[in-house]
């Protein structure tokens, strides 16, 4: 029998030694008390950005005393801010840049100056953390893309559904008041049929921008249909939500798009519903939708509140 396909004893022995070395290295990596290896192990357990920054903050505290650590980064439309502790007059800042991309800014404060060896320790920990933080930022961006309307760049219906569920849970648990506005652009099909979908798309983008300028930074704007938007208002009473809806209506009707021979303007109709305790998302939306239907059926370009006429 030919032996040319049979591994030699030397090759088998070498492979066995390599496997043994790998097992030993894995055991040492898992059990090592080296702070860099401990941080690396912890960061590998999650892709959630704020959890990773918290892990970095905990690991840093074991090596360098500080009074406050703050991480800031903007991913798409979302401003990510993580802060622990209270400040001090001395600080050091680190911009997390990798391969030409920025992945945030870390600022560390305390009441006394940092020694050179402390700054070196911070930089060593950051060298371990930056790749996992980069991965977490990219993961957050992917999640945000899945929840964003491609045309208007505002959150989509899936994001609205998730936000309404959270609002219902928070409202029942903490008694917080939430209001919902549904906004529908009037006669929008006529605009598309007359001026084309390119003009229609520009109007949708401008309408989203106008609505965004009429609401607070803490409010949520969503596109959940062809020409329909939803606005979720935390800590907002029915009367205040009505005022916001009227402000939105005024802003939307105040702009026009130049189409060469003429300017194209639009109006909108709005329905308002403040969530009642124990109400689920479908019931809440149905009341806002009923108010919107009344606004449209009674002449459009107006606001109606659920179960009440304004």
The catalytic residue among 227, 228, 238, 282 is: 227
Look up tokens 């209506």; give the residue: 249
> How many C-beta atoms lie closer than 10 Å to residue 121's C-beta?
18
Q: How would you class 292 by CB atoms within 10 Å of its CB: exposed for 0-12, middle for 13-18, buried for 19 or more?
A: buried
Alpha-carbon distances of 37 from 43, 52, 168, rounded to whole Å = 10, 15, 42
| Domains of the chain and any CATH numbers | 9-146 (3.30.450.40), 157-305 (3.30.70.270)
pLDDT of residue 210: 96
pTM for this predicted structure: 0.74
What is the token pair recorded at 64?
A: 């360098």
What is the token pair recorded at 143?
A: 């999640």
Hey, is 70 helix, strand or coil? Answer: strand
Active site residue 101: no
Measured over the CA atoms of residue 298, residue 300, residue 303 and residue 307, the dihedral's sign is positive
pLDDT tens, position by position, 10-51: 677 666 767 767 777 666 656 667 889 999 999 999 999 999
Hey, is 201 helix, strand or coil? Answer: helix
pLDDT tens, position by position, 232-268: 999 999 999 999 999 999 999 999 988 777 889 999 9
pLDDT of residue 1: 44
């Amino acid at each position: 029998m030919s032996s040319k396909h049979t591994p030699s004893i030397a090759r088998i022995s070498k492979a066995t030694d390599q496997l043994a070395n790998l097992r030993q290295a894995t055991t040492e990596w898992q059990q090592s008390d080296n702070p860099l290896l401990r941080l690396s192990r912890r960061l590998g357990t999650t892709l959630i950005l704020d959890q990773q920054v918290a892990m970095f903050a905990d690991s840093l505290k074991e090596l360098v005393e500080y009074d406050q650590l703050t991480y800031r980064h903007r991913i798409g439309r979302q401003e990510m801010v993580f802060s622990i502790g209270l400040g001090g007059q001395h600080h050091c800042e680190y911009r997390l840049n990798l391969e030409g991309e920025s992945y945030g800014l870390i600022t560390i404060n305390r009441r006394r100056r940092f020694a050179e060896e402390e700054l070196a320790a911070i930089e060593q920990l950051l060298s371990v953390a930056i790749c996992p933080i980069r991965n977490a930022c990219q993961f957050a961006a992917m999640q945000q893309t899945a929840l964003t309307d491609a045309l208007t760049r505002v959150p989509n219906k899936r994001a609205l559904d998730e936000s309404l569920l959270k609002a219902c849970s928070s409202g029942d648990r903490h008694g917080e008041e939430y209001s919902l506005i549904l906004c529908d652009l009037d006669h929008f099909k006529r605009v598309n049929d007359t001026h084309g979908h390119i003009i229609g798309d520009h109007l949708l983008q401008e309408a989203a921008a106008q609505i965004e300028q009429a609401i607070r930074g803490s409010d949520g704007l969503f596109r959940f249909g062809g020409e329909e938007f939803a606005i979720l208002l935390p800590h907002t009473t029915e009367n205040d939500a009505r005022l916001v809806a009227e402000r939105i209506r005024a802003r939307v009707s105040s702009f026009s798009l130049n189409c060469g021979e003429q300017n194209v303007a639009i109006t909108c109709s709005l329905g308002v519903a403040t969530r009642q305790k124990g109400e689920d998302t479908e019931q809440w939306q149905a009341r806002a939708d009923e108010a919107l239907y009344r606004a449209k059926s009674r002449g459009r370009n107006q606001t109606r509140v659920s179960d009440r006429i304004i």
